[in-house]
Amino acid sequence: MSRHSLPPVRTRTIDSPVGPLFLAASGAGLHAVEFEVHRHPVARGDDWCEGDHAVLDAAERQLGEYFAGSRRRFELPLAAAGTPFQRQVWDALTRIPYGATASYAALAAMIGRPTAVRAVGAANGRNPLSIVVPCHRVIGADGTLTGFGGGLPTKEFLLALEGALPRQLAMA
């Protein structure tokens, strides 16, 4: 491998309670966790191919534990490609605790950019690591479920799994 080439990216698709999930990883970490229909799929390089990788094994195991209710926090090396602003938003998403939600305005405040609510929403929507980087925990300021790359039924399922459905939805 030349010093300018990147490690190859290995992929696999796994079954989950929310449908098939596409995973991609390399020695740099986890690049993607995508739903079968994903609004903003990660660009695939020529070096992406189906195969085995330890990070894929760990991601599959930890996602299984999450869906079984025994994992509340993922411990995986992350290698999401994005702008510095997007990565700042995605990092903030990882700080929203399991079982909790935050509004887009609260997320903007978390990164010290309280007036950047729309930009935060756009970065949230481009999160390439669904579930692992919990963009599903971001809801509207009024407590309603707002757009989600995996669809609102999936968002509702994930929040219910975590016991984090907004009060008015949980009572419906």
CA 69 to chain centre: 17
Q: Is 135 a catalytic residue?
A: yes
Kind and range of the H or E run holding 10: strand 9-14
Residues ≥6 apart with Cβ < 8 Å to 96:
102, 107, 134, 137, 138
Helix (H, G, I), strand (E, B) or coil at 114: coil
- Phi, psi for residue 120 in degrees, rounded to 5: -65, -40
What are the residues facing 78 on neighbouring strands?
Answer: 30
* Residue with tokens 């993607």, as numbered in its chain: 32
Cα–Cα distance between 39 and 42 in angstroms, integer?
10
Cα–Cα distance between 39 and 151 in angstroms, integer?
9
Q: Which of 135, 138, 145, 164 is catalytic?
A: 135
Provide the annotated active-site residues.
135
